[in-house]
Structures are given as C-alpha cells and as structure tokens.
Amino acid sequence: MTRQFVVRSILLIGAVVVGLLLAPVSANEVAQPPRPTLTPSPMPTETPAPTETPAPIPTTAPVPTDVAPTATAVAEVTPVATAEATAVPTAVAPATSEPAATAAPTPSQPPVSTLPDTGGSSSVPLLWVALGIGLLLLGMAQLRRSQRGNIDL
C-alpha cells in the first residue's frame, strides 16, 4: 500500500463517519413534535364556604349559672331521618376561626405540574461525531505531511 492510499482512506472514513452521524441527528430533531410547556395549575380564587353546623340539641339537665365553663362545649347532632334504623348520632367539633391544615396554597407558592424524567438525549452520538471529526482532522494532517515528503507510515 502506498502512503497516498492510507491517507486518503483515513480521510474517507472520517468524512463518512461525520456525514452518517450528522444526518440522522438533524433529521430526528426536525421530525420530533415540540415538547409541551409546563404551566402552573390554576389557583383557586375563593375558599369554599364552611358547611353549616347544626344547632345543638337542648338537654334536660339544668345548667348552673354560677359556675364558669372550664371546657369548650361539644354540640351533639342527631342524624336526619333516613330509611336506615341503625343511624348513630355523631359528635361534631365546634368550628374554629383558624384556617384548616388542608387550606389552599398561597398565591406566592403556586403548584407546578411536572413531567416524568424519560432520560433525555444521550451523549453517545456526540462521541461518534467527535471521533469522526478527529479521524477527518488526522487524515488531513497526514495528507499535508505526506505532500511535504516527511512522513513515515
């Protein structure tokens, strides 16, 4: 084999690798649909109105007037008449003026929808392109040296 053949082979291989690797990368980028943009969820404008608390049931026991109350009273609620005869009365805690723990987020902290991470693009095609460009540059350098006449292959 002659030096010219080896140098031209290296140039050809480098050019083919670069051409083959750059063409599919640009074709895939054009053919892919655009990714959806992330938008924050709409914020609620009003807090829901609290549900009506039923009136307490009067008891038959007399309430002393000279004793100060030491605990908060709990109203007993009777269920509305239903077809079920096994309804059990339940106790309801009095409503407080403090916000509930499950309150809507404040406007300064809007919830943001996120997409799952699918891995994205890999750097392997870029490594192949870099290899092809390196071979192309190596071939060009060898060709210049061979034209000067000071190359040993």
* Residue 2, domain extent: 1-32+123-153
Give domain status of residue 141, yes or no: yes
Residue with the larger pLDDT of the pair 130 and 18: 130
125-150: pLDDT as tens digits? 778 788 888 888 888 888 888 777 65
Give domain status of residue 138, yes or no: yes
Give domain status of residue 130, yes or no: yes
- Residue 84: the pLDDT is 56
Give domain status of residue 3, yes or no: yes
Give domain status of residue 11, yes or no: yes
Mean pLDDT for the stretch of residues 27-37: 58
Give domain status of residue 46, yes or no: no
67-96: pLDDT as tens digits? 666 666 666 767 666 655 555 556 666 666
User: Which of 126, 128, 122, 125 shows the shortest CA–CA distance to 13?
Assistant: 128
Give domain status of residue 41, yes or no: no
Instruction: Please answer whether residues 77 and 90 qualify as being in contact, where contact means their C-beta atoms are separated by less than 8 angstroms.
Output: yes
Buried b / exposed e over 95-120, threshold 16 CB at 10 Å, is eeeeeeeeeeeeeeeeeeeeeeeeee
DSSP state, residue 63:
P
> Is the predicted pLDDT of residue 121 greater than 70, yes or no?
no
> Is the predicted pLDDT of residue 63 greater than 80, yes or no?
no
- Residue 59: the pLDDT is 67
Output the CA–CA distances (angstroms, integers) from residue 18 to 3, 6, 141, in the order listed.
Answer: 23, 18, 17
Give domain status of residue 75, yes or no: no
> Is the predicted pLDDT of residue 27 greater than 50, yes or no?
no
- Going by pLDDT thresholds of 50, 70 and 90, the confidence category of residue 62 is low
Indicate the number of domains in the chain. 1
Cα 139 → chain centroid: 46
